[in-house]
Amino acid sequence: MKYSAIHLAIFIERSNRFIARCRLFDSGEEIVTHVKNTGRSKELLVPNALVAVNHQPSEKRKTAYDLIAAKKGEMWINIDSQIPNALAAEGVLSGKITLPGLKGTINYLKREYTFERSKFDIYFETDLQEKGFVEVKGLTLENYGIGAFPDAPTLRGLKHVEELRLAQAMGYHCYLLFIVQFPNIQAATIHRVMQPKLYEAVEMAEGDGVQVLAYNCDVDQETISIKQAVPFDLEQAFIDPNL
């Protein structure tokens, strides 16, 4: 996927979860931009960091720019929280993302499907009448080649895992899919220190048959695309650079 009007900028400060100030790299103009991720991203959005902003002016918007990526060392990390769902749906349909355990071929996919108390990101059916759900989570927190989710506690994410367990028990094929929004990663895991209850929920979900998958992405300042499957290891140690 390619953004339409990317500009490089220097990050100045984050005013709140939704707004940041940056200075355009080419003109030096200071701008206010919408941050397309309400997570903390403290290790990425630091003063003088090189970031990518997408110019999307509209009378209906409060800001003319979206902050969609930041450079950490030599690696771009996409932080657009809307991208993972689109990449996942496209990847599942194209076969770029494989859902283990299915015997048939997916011939129907619907995004944002309501089940019980939750709305899952993807509902699918196969030509062999198999049905299932995929809950997608974007992963942007990295340290020493390990990616961890979440970077801030998420009650919504916890509820989704619990609902996946319920759906699995009812006969659906259920998957928790992490879209790693950067390329260089050895393994993905749950940030146990950040949210112990999520770790416990995922552990129980795996025991119940819910499959946990992770795929990394090729990323630069204006594009992002699914690269390949990477290991998910619930017991992988992770050192949070922000703690």
33 & 56 share domain: yes
Which residues of the chain form beta strands (DSSP E)? 6-14, 19-24, 30-35, 50-55, 65-72, 75-78, 106-115, 118-126, 131-139, 141-143, 146-149, 173-180, 187-190, 211-219, 224-229
Three-class secondary structure of residue 226 per DSSP: strand
Of 74, 101, 117, at which residue does a domain stop? 74
Q: Which pLDDT score is estimated for 117?
A: 82
166 lies in some domain: yes
66 & 106 share domain: no
186 & 140 share domain: yes
241 lies in some domain: no
Q: Which domain holds residue 108?
A: 83-229
61 & 94 share domain: no
Q: Which pLDDT score is estimated for 222?
A: 97
Q: Which pLDDT score is estimated for 40?
A: 85
119 & 67 share domain: no
146 lies in some domain: yes
185 & 223 share domain: yes
237 lies in some domain: no
129 lies in some domain: yes
For 91, what's the count of Cα atoms within 13 Å in the CB-facing half-sphere?
A: 27
pLDDT in tens, the chain (243 residues): 999 999 999 999 999 999 999 999 999 999 999 999 988 899 999 999 999 999 999 988 999 999 999 999 999 999 999 999 999 999 999 999 999 999 999 999 999 999 988 899 999 999 999 999 999 999 999 999 999 999 999 999 999 999 999 999 999 999 999 999 999 999 999 999 999 999 999 999 999 999 999 999 999 999 999 999 999 999 999 999 998
69 & 153 share domain: no
How many domains are there within the chain? 2
Q: Which pLDDT score is estimated for 38?
A: 85
Q: Are 191 and 149 in contact (CB under 8 A)?
A: yes
240 lies in some domain: no
Measured distance CA(75)–CA(138) in Å, rounded:
17
113 & 211 share domain: yes
Assign residue 45 the CATH number of its domain: 2.40.50.580
N- to C-terminal Cα distance for the chain? 33
Q: Which pLDDT score is estimated for 186?
A: 98
Q: Which pLDDT score is estimated for 226?
A: 99
